[in-house]
Structure 1
Amino acid sequence: MCRSLRYCVSHCLYAVMTRLEEANREVNMHSSVRYLGYLARINLLVAICIGLYVRWEKNADALILVIFILGLFVLGIASILYYYFSMEAASLSLSNLWFGFLLGLLCFLDNDSFKNDVKEEATKYLLLSSIIIRILFALVQRICGCIHHRPTLLTTVEFLELVGFAIASTTMLKSNGIFMSVFLIVLPLESMAHGLFHELGTCLGGTCVGYAVVIPTNFCSPDGQPTLLPPDHVQELNLRSTGMLNAIQRFFAYHMIETYGCDYSASGLSFDTLHSKLKSFLELRTPDGPRHDTYVLYYSGHSHSTGEWALAGGDALRLDTLLEWWREKNGSFCSRLIILLDCENSQPWVKEVRKVSDQYVAVQGADLAKVVDVEESDPPYLGDFTREWVEYNCNPDNDINWFEKGRTVKAMYGVSKRWSDYTLHLPTESDVAKHWMIYFPHITYPLIHLANWFCGLNLFWVCKACFRCLKRLKMSWFLPTVLDTGQGFKLVRS
């Protein structure tokens, strides 16, 4: 008894000390990273002070001395607000506005007469070192995970510094101050618009269309032929199939996936019927004409041990056949095909898709436990994986743990070799030319060729090729447990 108690106490103390050491390391790391930000600010402050001193010394302008003294006064007020009144937001806003104003003074005051002065050179080097340290600070923050950024048009710090910079242009340049002010306002607005469109391009997953096939009463007999279930099992299985249809329709609606159809066949589908439906599905296009970016195909039903879908009349659908149809319809386009399988034998397709090298294809499958202790848990059925997977991708507050030990329903997925190379469809040269001819005058057409030529320059093709190879190796050797498709839902493996 004493030995057990001593073991428990020592184990608890070890766990507490380990956690304290981790927390201490985390605090030390965050503190060290924060010091980089302080160093960049101090560098900037010293550069501003030296730069204003040089301009006052050479120009003998009393206004510069007044502004310099006022700057120290504002810095003191900001420090008082921060340390004595805990008004952190007001203090940082005031200091950022004033920093932007003083930087504007350094830029717009004439320095031709002393640009080779030693103190002016020191100012330039200090400003440059401040920029380098600030960049290093931002990189270290992201690498260490000390901060989590969210997409935004303009941060408060950037806005206040730009406002101060614009005010400085009107104060010091009487002849063209209005022009410079307007320019400094329009330029960040253009940059904000560009940043907004860039963020939208990276956040939006593109167009997507989905099709679901559920065959509940068709299963494989011992000789490999599909047969019908006994009547007393049909009602229960129909209820499960209805639940699967409702779940997949919820999935399509939640992620704004255009629904081509959800086919439910109690007697099974023939090969020709399925071929006709899949052919129509795979050749769907957007209302504007181009193909969809992603095609999602869902199947729930019985399958052979090789992964083939069991169809009516003894037919079967192989993955090679489905990919052949996909190649015929996809052609030279860069659309993706994501196959969702809720069947007993999805593992062969998950493994086989990893050998595909000419298309962007992914297979999400289920791994149902073959032997289950009925005293501990219920045996898995078709539809259990669909219910959990849809809940995982449609409910942010779900508590589903795919790595839980002893799960009877597990997940697996595989992707083709080129999956990591996928990018959204971008406008081609002909698309840009058509748009330009519709909305712009004829005299501006030469600009189309200039823009296409400039965009066609690939100066960093070597770096891009190396980066692409590294991503392929990572996807092949270290397949993520959770893979974000970019459409709002994720592929998972247990």
Structure 2
Amino acid sequence: MHSLRYVTSHLLVIPVEGINKMKSKLKCNIHLLGVIDIAVLLLAVCAGLYSSWYHTNSIIIIVIIIFGLLIFSLCSIFYYYFNLKDISESFSHLWFGCLLGMIAFFNHSSFDEDRPTMVTNILLISSLGIKIIWSFVQRASGNALYKSRLLTQAEKFEFLGFGIACVLGTDYMTSMWLLVIANMLMLIMLRLKVSFSLPCIIIFYTISVLFFFKAMADKLSHWALLCFTGRLLCDPFFDLYYNGLSMLERWHCFISLPRYMHRFIIICITVIEIYFFQTAGYVMISNDEWYLSVPLFFLFGVVWICLHVIFVLTSWTFANKLSECNSILKTNQETNANLSTVMASKGLRYFALISKYMILSVLLSTVLLGATSWQATNTHFMASILIVLPMEVMFHGILQELGGLLGGTCCCYAVIGPSGLCRSDRTPVLLPTNAIEEQSRRSVNILNSIQRFLVHHMIDIFSCDFSSGGIAMESLETKMRSFLSRRTSDGPRFDTYLVYYSGDVYQSGDWALADNGVLKFETLLTWWHEVDADSGARLIIILDTKHHSGWLKQIKRNSTDFIAIQTCSIGQSDPETGIAVNTGDFTMEWVAFNVTRDADITWAEQGRKTKAVYGVSKNWVDFTFHKPTEDDIEVYWTQNFPRITHSLIKVLQVVSSIECDSCCWCLDCCRKIKMKWLPPKIINTGHGFKLVRS
């Protein structure tokens, strides 16, 4: 056997070494392709500068060439002698962006019949083609690194360089700067995989090519502009497919910003929105058909202003919620809490579901105002609307993704009573002192374990009651009714109400309370019906007791409510080993399974003394987290926004009716049949914890 293992290991060395050589060779070829791309771009820039100087004899071109030689020399020194790779690459991209901008502004279309210009255009297109191939091969071979960022360092400096070229090469400096900012936002939108990013890209290039550049008196080199924008666009475009980061991972660079940065971004967005409205107002004096443009502008302008007041208030509230989640995440680093759990616990899902309709209304108002005040000769107007659209689309995108990603809200009431103090005939049992001390110690451990579970999953804690002598029925009824009627801070009911009980029960599973009190399942269900009122919330009951059959059967027969029970079957103690199985052991294992990532717990293993059992009502699979109704939206609007905007609630309801969820009856039937005949081993509740069965 040893010789066989020896021969096999040596035979595997050859293919493994071949694979490693192929990988290293592939990396070398990809790196070589990148070098060729830079070399061709450098040749294109040199040819373009020569062509521009050949036709214009401009001193600025000579100065730029001299500065270019100095900067490239400095970059080479920084890279090879001081190992300052980031600085040298940043200056290189800055200068590439500046030179491409200068070629675009000086080497315009009237030179196309000249041979140097034709060579420049061929090299520019060749550089773009090689860049596309390099970007695709790099991602297809798995050699691209993905991390949360809005723009790469190269993209930032190339945009900055092109902005510098706008100062030197064109009289439309402000308009071109705004267009560069719009182009940056388009790349950010693609990298974040926003839902409406592709339509916005099409609108951007359509307006730029057909209207913006035609409105400029300056003649531009379209090949240079195509090379500049195409090289920047190919990476985020391919990342739409190859980037495997989750939604929160992609947006982390924005979500994790400090509070002052979020507020600064909102202020900047507000200033740009005001500038867009100002440029749109020029239609009243530039349009010959003023009798149509003025009334339409006033009509859509009033709606636009009211909706954008809501936009600013919603953005500010959203920034405050993000800052609150970040602060909670920092203070709970020891509990390994993740960002999605924190956001769900703070009700961000409900906020996102309501706010996305508001932002969609804001986006539609911007489109309508831009269409009615369209000015094909005003470059400031076109550039400003190309900035406003992606900003509003990105805000709608993050709210839409958060609404679909985050779990709902959950509230818990835990009751821990004594166990082993009551017989099946409801007569009390007298225990010795050491047994009572052991009972108290076990109950405290259960309490600590449940509190750890609730804190880890950011579940709202109504109360954790512990009594060594039992809990009275009157006290339990008062607290249970108050718990089941509890609501979130935003107003709606919690999505899930979690009830935990560990203590004495009778054979039917009914809770054994103090003074011979009994809590039956029918009583708990009556309390639930009194406060739930078809709100769509669900009730999850966790029982760590010796008996549960009565409650489990009634829950499985229930067909009107969303109810689930998680309990256990406790086996007999082993007389040979002396290992006793007590009430509370299941809680310890279940909490460890749902809290500890590397917990070595196998519920299906043979010979388990504590087996997990769960049961769900017949329509459990129909449950969905609470979605805001028209009444919820109206209540939220009236409570949070100025009275002057209340008349626009109907507009929002029309927008919300556009996105309707169609349910498939056949699919629901299949889910119910599967849950009844082939129930899964694990059910994910959507709050981070799971229901399990052995």
TM-score band, normalised by shorter chain: 0.5 to 0.7
Contact 2:94 2:160 (8 Å CA) reproduced: no
Partner of 2:655: 454
Superposition pairs for residues 71-90 of structure 1, below 5 Å? none
Partner of 1:401: 601
Contact 1:220 1:310 (8 Å CA) reproduced: yes
Q: How many residues align?
A: 465
Partner of 1:178: 174
Q: Structure 2 unaligned segments of length 5 or more: list them.
A: 113-117, 189-264, 270-390
- Code of the residue aligned with 1:389 in structure 2: it is W
Are 2:463 and 1:261 equivalent residues in the alignment? yes
Offset at 1:449? 3.5
- Code of the residue aligned with 1:330 in structure 2: it is D
Query: CA 1:314–1:21 in 2, change beyond 3 Å: closer, same or farther?
Result: farther
Query: CA 1:74–1:10 in 2, change beyond 3 Å: closer, same or farther?
Result: farther
Contact 1:218 1:227 (8 Å CA) reproduced: no
Offset at 1:395? 5.4
Are 2:545 and 1:343 equivalent residues in the alignment? yes
Flag the structure with higher helix content.
Answer: 2
* Greater mean deviation of Cα atoms: 91-100 or 407-416: 91-100
Partner of 1:3: none
Query: CA 1:211–1:373 in 2, change beyond 3 Å: closer, same or farther?
Result: same
Distance in 2 (CA, whole Å) between partners of 1:39 and 1:220 is 80
* Greater mean deviation of Cα atoms: 38-47 or 263-272: 38-47
Partner of 2:162: 168
- Code of the residue aligned with 1:247 in structure 2: it is S
Contact 2:592 2:599 (8 Å CA) reproduced: no
Offset at 1:225? 3.5
Distance in 2 (CA, whole Å) between partners of 1:395 and 1:201 is 27
Query: CA 1:92–1:280 in 2, change beyond 3 Å: closer, same or farther?
Result: farther
Partner of 1:214: 416
Contact 2:408 2:625 (8 Å CA) reproduced: no
Distance in 2 (CA, whole Å) between partners of 1:119 and 1:179 is 28
Partner of 2:363: none
Are 2:295 and 1:301 equivalent residues in the alignment? no
Are 2:441 and 1:231 equivalent residues in the alignment? no
Superposition pairs for residues 304-453 of structure 1, below 5 Å? 307-311=509-513, 313=516, 315=518, 317-318=520-521, 322-323=524-525, 325-346=527-548, 359-370=561-572, 372=574, 374-375=576-577, 378-394=579-595, 399-403=599-603, 405=605, 407-413=608-614, 418=620, 422-423=624-625, 425-426=627-628, 428=630, 431=633, 435=637, 439-440=641-642, 442=644, 447-453=648-654
Distance in 1 (CA, whole Å) between partners of 2:632 and 2:531 is 21
* Greater mean deviation of Cα atoms: 323-332 or 279-288: 323-332
Query: CA 1:27–1:231 in 2, change beyond 3 Å: closer, same or farther?
Result: farther
Distance in 2 (CA, whole Å) between partners of 1:29 and 1:216 is 67
Distance in 2 (CA, whole Å) between partners of 1:74 and 1:394 is 55
* Greater mean deviation of Cα atoms: 323-332 or 398-407: 398-407
Are 2:453 and 1:251 equivalent residues in the alignment? yes
Distance in 1 (CA, whole Å) between partners of 2:616 and 2:17 is 41
Distance in 2 (CA, whole Å) between partners of 1:478 and 1:87 is 60
Query: CA 1:452–1:10 in 2, change beyond 3 Å: closer, same or farther?
Result: farther
Contact 2:593 2:601 (8 Å CA) reproduced: no
Contact 1:215 1:300 (8 Å CA) reproduced: yes
Superposition pairs for residues 17-36 of structure 1, below 5 Å? none
Offset at 1:244? 1.7
Distance in 2 (CA, whole Å) between partners of 1:161 and 1:211 is 52
Q: Deviations over 1:425-473 (max 9, x none)?
A: 547565357536854472x5565443432232127x56x8599869958
Offset at 1:212? 1.0
Distance in 1 (CA, whole Å) between partners of 2:6 and 2:670 is 42
- Code of the residue aligned with 1:229 in structure 2: it is V
Superposition pairs for residues 462-477 of structure 1, below 5 Å? 476=675
Distance in 1 (CA, whole Å) between partners of 2:437 and 2:47 is 90
Q: Deviations over 1:329-381 (max 9, x none)?
A: 22343434332221234577668756766655443333433464642x72221
Q: Structure 1 unaligned segments of length 5 or more: list them.
A: 1-5
Contact 1:100 1:163 (8 Å CA) reproduced: yes
- Code of the residue aligned with 1:317 in structure 2: it is K
- Code of the residue aligned with 2:438 in structure 1: it is E
SS at match of 1:231: coil
SS at match of 2:680: coil
Distance in 1 (CA, whole Å) between partners of 2:569 and 2:22 is 42
Offset at 1:234? 3.5
Offset at 1:382? 0.8
Query: CA 1:331–1:175 in 2, change beyond 3 Å: closer, same or farther?
Result: farther
SS at match of 1:291: coil
Offset at 1:291? 2.0
Contact 1:285 1:292 (8 Å CA) reproduced: yes
Q: Deviations over 1:403-429 (max 9, x none)?
A: 584543444545565558533554756
Distance in 2 (CA, whole Å) between partners of 1:237 and 1:104 is 79
Distance in 2 (CA, whole Å) between partners of 1:32 and 1:474 is 54
Distance in 1 (CA, whole Å) between partners of 2:26 and 2:623 is 34
Distance in 2 (CA, whole Å) between partners of 1:468 and 1:490 is 23
Q: Deviations over 1:11-65 (max 9, x none)?
A: 7987x79999999999899999989998997998799789979988997689999
- Code of the residue aligned with 2:428 in structure 1: it is L
Contact 1:219 1:303 (8 Å CA) reproduced: no
Q: Deviations over 1:174-199 (max 9, x none)?
A: 34433553575585666576677667
Distance in 2 (CA, whole Å) between partners of 1:429 and 1:101 is 55
Distance in 2 (CA, whole Å) between partners of 1:434 and 1:105 is 52
Give me the identity figure in percent: 27
Distance in 2 (CA, whole Å) between partners of 1:25 and 1:344 is 61
Distance in 2 (CA, whole Å) between partners of 1:40 and 1:432 is 58
SS at match of 1:281: helix
- Code of the residue aligned with 2:581 in structure 1: it is P
Distance in 2 (CA, whole Å) between partners of 1:360 and 1:28 is 58
Contact 1:209 1:296 (8 Å CA) reproduced: yes
Q: Which has the larger radius of gyration?
A: 2
Distance in 2 (CA, whole Å) between partners of 1:237 and 1:226 is 19
Offset at 1:322? 3.7
Query: CA 1:130–1:46 in 2, change beyond 3 Å: closer, same or farther?
Result: farther
- Code of the residue aligned with 1:483 in structure 2: it is N
SS at match of 1:241: helix
Note the aligned Cα RMSD (angstroms): 6.0
SS at match of 1:299: strand
* Greater mean deviation of Cα atoms: 165-174 or 188-197: 188-197
Query: CA 1:242–1:40 in 2, change beyond 3 Å: closer, same or farther?
Result: farther
Distance in 2 (CA, whole Å) between partners of 1:247 and 1:434 is 37
Query: CA 1:341–1:194 in 2, change beyond 3 Å: closer, same or farther?
Result: same
Q: Deviations over 1:94-130 (max 9, x none)?
A: 777678778988999998888xx99799789959977
- Code of the residue aligned with 1:401 in structure 2: it is I
TM-score, normalisation: structure 1: 0.64
Q: Deviations over 1:188-211 (max 9, x none)?
A: 666576677667667765543221
TM-score, normalisation: structure 2: 0.49
- Code of the residue aligned with 1:228 in structure 2: it is P
Distance in 1 (CA, whole Å) between partners of 2:429 and 2:506 is 16
Query: CA 1:438–1:246 in 2, change beyond 3 Å: closer, same or farther?
Result: closer
Distance in 2 (CA, whole Å) between partners of 1:368 and 1:25 is 56
SS at match of 1:290: coil
* Greater mean deviation of Cα atoms: 356-365 or 290-299: 356-365
Query: CA 1:469–1:308 in 2, change beyond 3 Å: closer, same or farther?
Result: same
Contact 1:213 1:299 (8 Å CA) reproduced: yes
- Code of the residue aligned with 2:655 in structure 1: it is F
